[in-house]
Amino acid sequence: MSRLSSIVITKNKQRSSLTKRLLLRVQNTVTKHALWKDGMTLVIGVSSGPDSCCLLDILAALQKKHRLSLSVAHVNYRLRGKDSDEDERFVQKLAAHYKIPCFIHTPPKKIQASEEALRVIRYNFFEKTRKKNNADRIIIAHHEDDQAETILLRLLRGSGLSGLQSMQPKNDFLVRPLLTTSRADILLYLKERKLSFREDKSNNDEHYLRNRIRHTLLPLLAKNFQPNIRQSLAKTAFLVAEDYHELTKRFRSYHMPLVPPITLSRTELLSLSESSLRHTLRSIIQTASKKKVVPSKNLLFEIIAAIKSEKKKQRVVTFGGLKFLCRGDTVTLLNL
Q: Which element (helix H / strand E) includes 335? A: strand 330-335
What sign does the dihedral 190-100-104-173 (CA atoms) show? negative
Of 90, 71, 336, 56, residue with least CA distance to 199: 90
The predicted model gives 137-152 an average pLDDT of: 96
Q: 145 and 180 in contact (C-beta within 8 Å)? A: no
Spatial distance between the Cα atoms of 30 and 176, rounded to a whole number of angstroms: 9
pLDDT of residue 160: 82
- Cβ-contact 93, 4 below 8 angstroms: no
Query: So where are the chain's domains?
Result: 17-238, 250-335
User: What single letter denotes the amino acid at residue 237?
Assistant: A
Residue 2: pLDDT above 90? no
Please say if the pLDDT value at position 142 is more than 90: yes
Enumerate the β-bridge partners of residue 323.
Answer: 318, 334
Q: State the pLDDT at residue 282.
A: 84
pTM of the model: 0.78
Which CATH architecture is the domain 250-335 placed in?
2-Layer Sandwich (3.30)
Fold type of domain 17-238: Rossmann fold (3.40.50)
247-288 per-position pLDDT tens digit:
766 655 554 446 778 888 899 889 888 888 888 888 888 777
Give the count of beta carbons closer than 10 Å to the beta carbon of residue 244.
16
Read off the pLDDT band of 54 (50, 70, 90). very high
The answer to whether residues 104 and 88 touch, using CB atoms and an 8 Å cutoff, is yes
- Are 93 and 7 spatial neighbours (Cβ–Cβ below 8 Å)? yes
pLDDT-based confidence at residue 85 (cuts at 50, 70, 90): very high
